[in-house]
Amino acid sequence: MIDYLALDFKAMPVDFEKITQSSLFLPFEKSLRLLIESQLPFEVRTTVHSDLIDKNQMKAMIQYLEQQNYQGNYYIQHFINDVATLEKLGYSVKEMEKENLSTPSIKIHFRG
């Protein structure tokens, strides 16, 4: 029995393949719709690297979630510098926390 789920929202379609090195946005979208319709408790989260996702991209992601009728918490997790990744990444800065990105239907929380 499932009592809670977390769904990683990597990027919008325009950036998805570059960031994930995959073309799996449609399965993400289908999973999001199924979870919203199921009414199971779940969270949406995104790990942000400042070289890959900026404030405007993040706002587009929030707007997308609203258009899909997602309501609830959205967790933004900061990339942890100096860890091994598939591709060498530069140093990520935590600038987004200075922004109030919450909307009436989606509450933004920062982790890490």
> According to the model, what pLDDT value does residue 66 have?
98
User: pTM for the full model?
Assistant: 0.90
- pLDDT given at position 112: 72
Q: Per-residue pLDDT tens for 15-24?
A: 999 999 999 9
Distant-in-sequence, close-in-space partners of 12: CB < 8 Å, separation ≥ 6: 57, 60, 61, 64
Write out the residue range of the structural domain in which residue 96 sits: 5-111
Q: What is the C-alpha separation between 9 and 12, in angstroms, rounded? A: 8
**Mean pLDDT per segment of 10 residues, for the chain of length 112 residues?**
89 95 96 94 94 94 98 93 80 82 95 80
